[in-house]
């Protein structure tokens, strides 16, 4: 007679299962299951529409206006998904990056696209390196979102990242003040703060 020992599967405390923090054994959830529902859906649609109109109102039917018309609604949607699920779906980020790259390339001389590509690559690589060095801090989804932001913002990328980190720092200090040191390991979604920083930098930087 042989004893059979059942070893429970290891759990990953701070790393969600797909895009934002990769866990190899976890299945990937369909993007449609991550979309906001009920009142969150109406909030996302309303805010996205307002920012789309604001982009054209501020910058007209120019390349920057069309970039904002794509970027801002995508950031609002990603912020809502990341806040609720701690995920940043590549099915949303990749098409948005392609669309913004095409808009910049069509609306401006070819050389103008290079600084945007450089900014996107720099921020994406920085977030990726940070995620690989400090496990559980950032994820691959954050790196992909960083590329999208850099591509869209170009020279305004640094301002957007500063705003994002400032917002994240304020949120972290608020959580610590409310819950004490026991909350120091609590994971905060970075996507919403990147979205806020990107939108503010796009309109005001």
Digit-coded pLDDT (tens) for 120-147: 999 999 999 999 998 877 889 999 999 9
Rounded Cα distance, 65 and 86, in Å? 29
Q: Which residues contact 90 (CB under 8 A, 6 or more apart)?
A: 19, 141, 144
pLDDT tens-place string over residues 22-31: 434 456 788 8
Asked whether the whole model's pTM tops 0.85, one would answer no
Residue 182: CB atoms within 10 A of its CB come to 8
**Region of poorest pLDDT, from 22-26, 69-73, 88-92, 94-98:** 22-26
Q: Is the pLDDT of residue 157 over 60?
A: yes
Q: Is the pLDDT of residue 88 over 50?
A: yes
Of residues 7 and 188, more confidence is placed in 188
Share above pLDDT 70 across residues of the chain, in percent, rounded to a whole number: 83
Picking from 129, 205, 124, the residue whose alpha carbon sits closest to that of residue 163 is: 205
DSSP 34: T
When pLDDT is averaged across residues 153-157 and rounded to a whole number, the result is 95
pLDDT tens-place string over residues 33-62: 999 999 999 999 999 999 999 999 999 999
Q: What is the pLDDT of residue 176?
A: 81
Q: Is the pLDDT of residue 205 over 90?
A: no
Of residues 191 and 112, more confidence is placed in 191
């Amino acid at each position: 007679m042989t004893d059979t020992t059942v070893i429970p599967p290891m759990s990953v405390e701070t790393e969600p299962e797909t895009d934002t923090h990769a866990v190899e054994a976890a299945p990937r959830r369909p993007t449609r299951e991550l979309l906001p529902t009920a009142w969150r859906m109406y909030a996302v649609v309303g805010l996205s529409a307002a920012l789309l109109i604001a982009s054209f109102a501020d910058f007209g039917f120019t390349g920057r206006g069309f970039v904002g018309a794509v970027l801002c609604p995508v950031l609002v949607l990603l912020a809502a998904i990341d806040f609720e699920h701690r995920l940043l779906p590549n099915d949303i980020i990749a098409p948005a990056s392609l669309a913004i790259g095409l808009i910049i390339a069509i609306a401006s001389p070819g050389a103008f696209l290079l600084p945007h590509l450089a900014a996107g690559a720099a921020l994406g690589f920085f977030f990726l390196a940070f995620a690989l060095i400090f496990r559980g801090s950032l994820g691959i989804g954050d790196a992909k979102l960083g590329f999208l932001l850099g591509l869209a913002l170009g020279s305004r990328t640094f301002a957007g990242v500063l705003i994002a980190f400032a917002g994240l720092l304020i949120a972290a200090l608020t959580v610590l003040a409310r819950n004490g040191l026991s909350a120091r390991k609590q994971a905060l979604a970075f996507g919403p703060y990147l979205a806020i920083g990107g939108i503010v930098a796009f309109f005001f930087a």
